[in-house]
Amino acid sequence: TTLSNNAVTARAHTNIALVKYWGKKDENLIIPYTGSLSLTLDYFYTDTQVAFDANLTTDDVQIDGQPASAKTTARVSRFLDIVRQRSGITKSAAVRSTNHVPTAAGLASSASAFAALAAASSRAAGMNLSLTDLSRLARRGSGSACRSIFGGFAEWQPGTDDTNSYAIPIKSHGLADLRVIALTTVKGPKAISSRQGMRLSVTTSPYYPAWIQTAQADLVALKAALAAADFTAIGKISELNAMRMHALTLSADPDFTYFNGQTLTIIDLVKSLRHSGVECYYTIDAGPNVKVLCQSETTEKIVTTFSKVLGDENVIVTKPGPGVQYL
Ligand code: PMV
């Protein structure tokens, strides 16, 4: 599926938020209520190739070798419209995207997808954006994508408008042995999209104002913990922040949850591992899968424990990963 000579290919990795983004102040520009902070992961990534082509009459989007659905194509086209508008290009584009995540693991991420698309499409359109401007652009596709422009830890500064809402890299020292173990659970009925879930939480959860307060405090505490390379503090803050985010789903009207039965089983197991002296913490995004934070020396023990419960194929060890790159 190699495209014409002026095609550009970019690779971006997924990220896991330790202090989460949950709620848009501006749904169109994707400006969040609060800042968030994530770790980019090495194992899961998306490669996306883009070529603007005068012979095309509409955008031609293929994902993992298959034509994208009408809904996905429309979302990609809306994103490409921003790139066309800024670059002055009027041509349609061919987009070929490959997700490097285990098939059916349910870990495919809009973050790596839109970060790769932002990088490939802007360069294919002749723009040479700074990392800050790439982050701003990726944000328009999916909020969390603005953090996947950077490797390691990245903080999305919420800002107030399109110009000042973007991620910045957070330097860290002494955290090279941090590991994130991705655990995949049985697939349930289709989850409520993050967009829909956020909207419900913002508009109906009586706890949303409290989230704004605590998320800001969590972010300050996490940055201090990262600066001190204090794994215990990083883990505690991340776990608590994840549960506070999920409390916004349980307290919405109508209530909803991203957890399934296995999610709760995994939470219990993480806690019992911790009580037995194996230090690890969990975090969960808008789906039933769980990510376990640990350090290299305890990884094997944790992998063994979860492989017995979930099967080897559902336990994947990841490390801090790099920022967006051109191939
Ligand atoms: O970027 P979105 O719209 O898919 O939202 C991501 C939301 C969470 O993954 C739950 C939290 C986060 O900060 O990544």
pLDDT digits (tens, 9 = 90+) for 18-47: 999 999 999 999 999 999 999 999 999 999
Q: Is the CB of 144 under 6 A from ligand 1?
A: yes
**Is 104's pLDDT higher than 60?**
no
Domain 8-173, classified CATH 3.30.230.10, yes or no: yes
- Over the stretch 237-284, which tens digit does the pLDDT of each residue have? 999 999 999 999 999 999 999 999 999 999 999 999 999 999 999 999
Check whether 189 has a pLDDT greater than 80. Answer: no
pLDDT beyond 80 at 5 = no
Q: 15, 33, 180, 194: which to mutate for ligand 1, most atoms within 8 A of CB?
A: 194
Cα 21 to ligand 1 centroid, rounded to whole Å: 6
Question: Which is the closest atom of ligand 1 to the Cα of 36?
Answer: 13
The band of 106, judged by pLDDT with boundaries at 50, 70 and 90, is low
Q: What is the predicted pLDDT for the residue at 161? A: 98
Number of the ligand 1 atom closest to the C-alpha atom of 30: 3
Task: Report pLDDT for 191.
Answer: 82
Please indicate whether residue 14, judged by its CB atom, sits closer than 6 Å to ligand 1. no
Q: Give 193 Cα–ligand 1 centroid separation in angstroms.
A: 10
**Does ligand 1 come within 6 angstroms of the Cβ of 258?**
no
Residue 155 pLDDT > 60: yes
Would the CB of 143 count as within 6 Å of ligand 1? Answer: yes
Task: Give the pLDDT score at 103.
Answer: 56
Q: What is the pTM of this model?
A: 0.96
* Distance in angstroms (rounded) separating the CA atoms of residues 118 and 324: 10
Instruction: Give the distance from CA 293 to its chain's centroid.
Output: 16
* Structural contact between residues 284 and 290, judged by C-beta atoms closer than 8 angstroms: yes
pLDDT over threshold 70, residue 322: yes
pLDDT mean across residues, the chain: 95
Q: State the SS3 of the chain.
A: CCCCCCCEEEEEEEEEEEECCCCEEECCCCEECCCEEEEEEEEEEEEEEEEEECCCCCCEEEECCEECCHHHHHHHHHHHHHHHHHHCCCCEEEEEEEEECCCCCCCCCHHHHHHHHHHHHHHHCCCCCCHHHHHHHHHHHCHHHHHCCCCCEEEEECCCCCCCCEEEEECCCCCCCEEEEEECCCCCCCCCCHHHHHHHHHHHCCCHHHHHHHHHHHHHHHHHHHHCCCHHHHHHHHHHHHHHHHHHHHCCCCCCCCCCHHHHHHHHHHHHHHHCCCCCEEECCCCCCEEEEEEHHHHHHHHHHHHHHHCHHHEEEECECCCCEEC
Predicted local confidence at residue 109, as pLDDT: 80
Give residue 4's pLDDT. Answer: 66
The pLDDT, as a whole number, for residue 129 is 98
CA-CA distances (angstroms) from residue 30 to 105, 112, 165, 186? 27, 17, 9, 31
Over residues 293-306, mean pLDDT: 98
ipTM of the complex: 0.98
Q: Domain residues of the chain, as ranges?
A: 8-173, 178-318
Interval between CA 6 and ligand 1 midpoint (Å):
32
Ligand 1 near 142 CB (within 6 A): yes
The reply to whether ligand 1 has any atom less than 6 angstroms from the CB of 17 is yes
Residue 97 has pLDDT above 80, yes or no: yes
Query: At residue 100, does pLDDT exceed 70?
Result: yes
Q: How far is the CA of 3 from the centre of ligand 1 (A)?
A: 31
Summarize the confidence of residues 11-19 as an average pLDDT.
Answer: 97
The percentage of the chain sitting over the pLDDT mark of 70, rounded to a whole number, equals 96
Q: Please, are residues 222 and 255 in contact by the beta-carbon 8 Å criterion?
A: no
Q: Which fold has domain 178-318?
A: Alpha-Beta Plaits (3.30.70)
Distance 83 CA to ligand 1 centre (A): 23
